[in-house]
Structure formats: structure tokens, C-alpha cells
Structure 1
Amino acid sequence: MADEGQQLDEGVADLAFRRIRGDIIAGTLPPGRKLKLDTLKAQYGASVSTLREILNRLASESLIVAEGQRGFEVAPASAENLLEVADLRLLLESHAIRLSLASGDLDWEGRVVAAHHKLSVIEAQLLRGEIERTAQWVRYDFTFHNALISACGSQTLLALHASVFDRFIRYHMLAASFRGADVMSDHKALFELAMERNADAIVAKLATHIRSGVDYVLSTGRI
């Protein structure tokens, strides 16, 4: 019975962690929001002690700021932080994609092809004005970029990239709009260069892709 209770507690904690983290990325919990434990307990169904552990984990990802005795709040958003996150994403993704292109096999190619197909379908729907697809696009955007680097051979690198990617995507969610045809064109170019195994060209394209994303977010005036 004790083991069952422990597994239940761990399940609740994992679910609460994923929900809180997802709400921060999506902007449901906006930058600067004070996170009161009693309110979170009612909203996410986890104990206060579990919530403290969750918030400390999220603080280690820089998604939450721990304020000592004053508690916790969602990390603020700023142009300076966006640029820092973009630089870190570019550093990690460039390294991982070079490794992936060098060792990717037929299964890797299949993952990239499938991920790009799904992403391009969603992007075409967004271009037709189906803005309700934005959250779905965010998921497929990550899936595509993750597929590109999935043969890098390092789970640590993949996990770190995923965390930084989410921090980058949070700014796109705060911008609350889709970047348009340019981002779809970028993804097609990245896909084609990946299939050609052209490491130098894909890293250069990735750099312009990420910088364009930063410029777009800042142009919305929401940060």
C-alpha cells in the first residue's frame, strides 16, 4: 500500500509539474505573476510541499524566480532575456545538428520527413487564417527541430535544448501571433538542407531563422 501511495504522489507531482510548466510557456501564467501556494494547490491539485519542489525545479530552468522569503513569481520577459535565450538556443542547436547530420541514419531521415510534413500542414492552415492552430503549431515546430537534432547521440544535449527551446517559444506565445509565410519557407529550407547533409548551410540558415524569430517577436511590441 505504501508503494501505491508513493506512486500516486509521484503521478500527481509529475502532472502538476507539466501543467504549471505548460501554463508558463503558453502565457496562461504570465511574466511577473505571483505564485501563491494556496492558489496553486487549489488549481493544480498538489500539496504545498510538492508545489515547493516543483517551483524550485522550474526556477532551475529560469522559468520561475524564487524571491527568498517572499515566495515565487513567473520569470519576467524582456528583450535582453529573449536575445540571451536565442543565443543559447543557436549555440546548442547548431552543435547538435552538426552531430546529427553526421550520424543520422534512414530512421532519422524518416523522423525528419514526418515532422516536416506535419509542420507544413499546420503552417498552411495558419496561413489560411486558422489561428486556433497556433498551439498545435508550437508543438509541431518543436517536433521538427527536435527531429533534426535527434541523431546527435546525447540525451543531455537533447534535454538541455528542449528546455531552452521552450523558453524561446514562450516569447512567441506572448507575441500571440504566427510569423507567416517566411517561417514556413525557413522550415522548408532547413528540411532540404538536412536531407542534403549540408551542415554549414543548415547552421547558417538556422541562425537567420532564429534571428528572424527574435525580430518578429520584438516587432509586435508585446515584450
Structure 2
Amino acid sequence: MKHKSIFTNTDNETTGELAFRSVRSDIIRGHLSPGQKLRLDQLKSQYGVAISTLREILSRLTAEGFVVAEGQRGFEVAKVSISGLQDIAALRLLLEIQALRQSIATGDLHWEARVVSSHYMLQSIESRLVEGDLSHVEQWVQHDWEFHHATISACNSPAMMAAHSNAFDHYIRYHMLALSFRGEAAAKEHAQLKELVLSRQTEEAITLLTSHVQSGLDHVLSTGKIPD
């Protein structure tokens, strides 16, 4: 089955698939806390699906790394850590660099339009945040994903896109726990990345992307909300 980010809405999904995406989203957004025990009776009432469906959902989330199976003791939300953030940031960057390189090489006008439109939405939110309205941080995380997703969307590799989306969702989970915006520097980097991508300056774009992800990682760690 094709992977979907938490920010992708799809019509005609089954009840089980909707519940899967709801549980997954609640973990990524921090509504289900790291280390929280996932009790089936409670989840049945919360998400409105059968115990057998919940077991399947939690097994799938275990395979994706969002849930940990505890043998006979059931399931719990996967914990977070500094080393975990560093690991997932490295994976995200590895995939994103390769996909960006391929997208810059093969992207057409439709791809350029996606990059421009997604950056316009991101810039609109970032302007509010820079002005001090921090009520839009969660919305910013969504548009940040959409912009980065757009820049690599012409890589012509569904497998790479799915792997990147999953890695990015893990990365988003840390951002949601920190729920902090890095400020004007991040907004300027996004604007510069857009221009480098559209002008097909591959190596310069990759250099900026690398420092951008590292700065984001450092910022999340600086909040002190990620345990050792």
C-alpha cells in the first residue's frame, strides 16, 4: 500500500484505514505520548474500531517504528531520544538529497509550479510567526513538509518518496514535541532553497539543505524537550 503522510487527505478510505491514520497522526502530533501504554479497550472507545482491527493497526505501526510491541504485555508508543532524532534526521537528509538531485535534473514546469505554490503557503505562515504570532507553529510544520515534499516530487521514484515521507513523519514527531519555530533564519533558508532549486543549482541547493536540516535539529534539541 502506498504510504501517505499525516498531511495527506484521501477519500473513500475504509474504517480501518481511517483509524490507522488517526492513531498514527495522534502519535506524530504528540496526542499519544512517547512511552504511553496503548490499552486496547481504551483505544476501541477512542477510535471506534474492533479489538482485532486495533491489533492490526498497532502491528503496522510497530513495523513503521511508531509503536513498540511488549510481547504479552501489549503495546506502547515508541519513546523518543536525542540519538533517535539525530538518526532520523540523518536518514531524512540522505533520502532528501538524492531525491532533490533527481528532481532538479528531471523536473518540469508542473514541478516548478508545485515548488512555487508550496513555498508561497509556507512563506505566508512564516511571516506571521516572524511577527510573533506563535499560534501557527503546528500549521507551519504542515507547510514545511509540503514545501520539502514538493521540491523532491519529480524524482520519479515512488519507493524513495514513500521512504522519505515515513522518515519525515518521524522527524515531524520531534518538531511537534518541541513545538517551536526557529525564526527568520529558517524562513530565509526556505526562500533561498526555493530559488536554488528553480535555478537548477544542484550542489548549492544540497549544501543549503544539509545546513538547514542540521540547524533545525539543533534548534529542536535546544528546546530541552527531547530526553537523553
After superposition, the C-alpha distances for 1:33-85 in whole angstroms (9 at most, x for unaligned) are 11001110000111111111111111111111111111111110100000000
2-structure distance, mates of 1:217, 1:168? 10
1:218 aligns with 2:224: no
* Structure-2 residue corresponding to 1:46: 49
- Secondary structure of the equivalent of 1:110? helix
1:18 aligns with 2:25: no
Q: Which has a greater percent of helix? A: 1
1:191 aligns with 2:185: no
Unpaired runs of 5+ residues, structure 1, are 1-9
- Secondary structure of the equivalent of 1:222? coil
Task: Return the letter of the residue paired with 1:193.
Answer: L
Task: Return the letter of the residue paired with 1:103.
Answer: T
More off after superposition, 134-143 vs 84-93: 134-143
- Report the alpha carbon displacement of residue 192 of structure 1 after superposing the two structures with TM: 0.8
CA-based RMSD: 0.9
* Structure-1 residue corresponding to 2:3: none
* Structure-1 residue corresponding to 2:4: none
* Structure-1 residue corresponding to 2:164: 161
Which of 73, 83, 86 lines up with 1:83 in the alignment? Answer: 86
- Report the alpha carbon displacement of residue 130 of structure 1 after superposing the two structures with TM: 2.3
Task: Return the letter of the residue paired with 1:94.
Answer: I
1-structure distance, mates of 2:120, 2:71? 46
* Structure-2 residue corresponding to 1:4: none
More off after superposition, 128-137 vs 27-36: 128-137
- Report the alpha carbon displacement of residue 144 of structure 1 after superposing the two structures with TM: 0.4
Which of 143, 147, 154 lines up with 2:146 in the alignment? Answer: 143
2-structure distance, mates of 1:188, 1:72? 42
1-structure distance, mates of 2:108, 2:197? 12
- Secondary structure of the equivalent of 2:14? helix
TM-score relative to the length of structure 1: 0.94
* Structure-2 residue corresponding to 1:180: 183
1-structure distance, mates of 2:52, 2:132? 44
8 Å Cα contact 2:138/2:179 also seen in 1: no
Task: Return the letter of the residue paired with 1:211.
Answer: Q
Which of 134, 138, 143 lines up with 1:131 in the alignment? Answer: 134
Q: State the 4+ residue runs in structure 1 displaced beyond 6 angstroms.
A: none
1-structure distance, mates of 2:36, 2:131? 34
2-structure distance, mates of 1:61, 1:209? 26
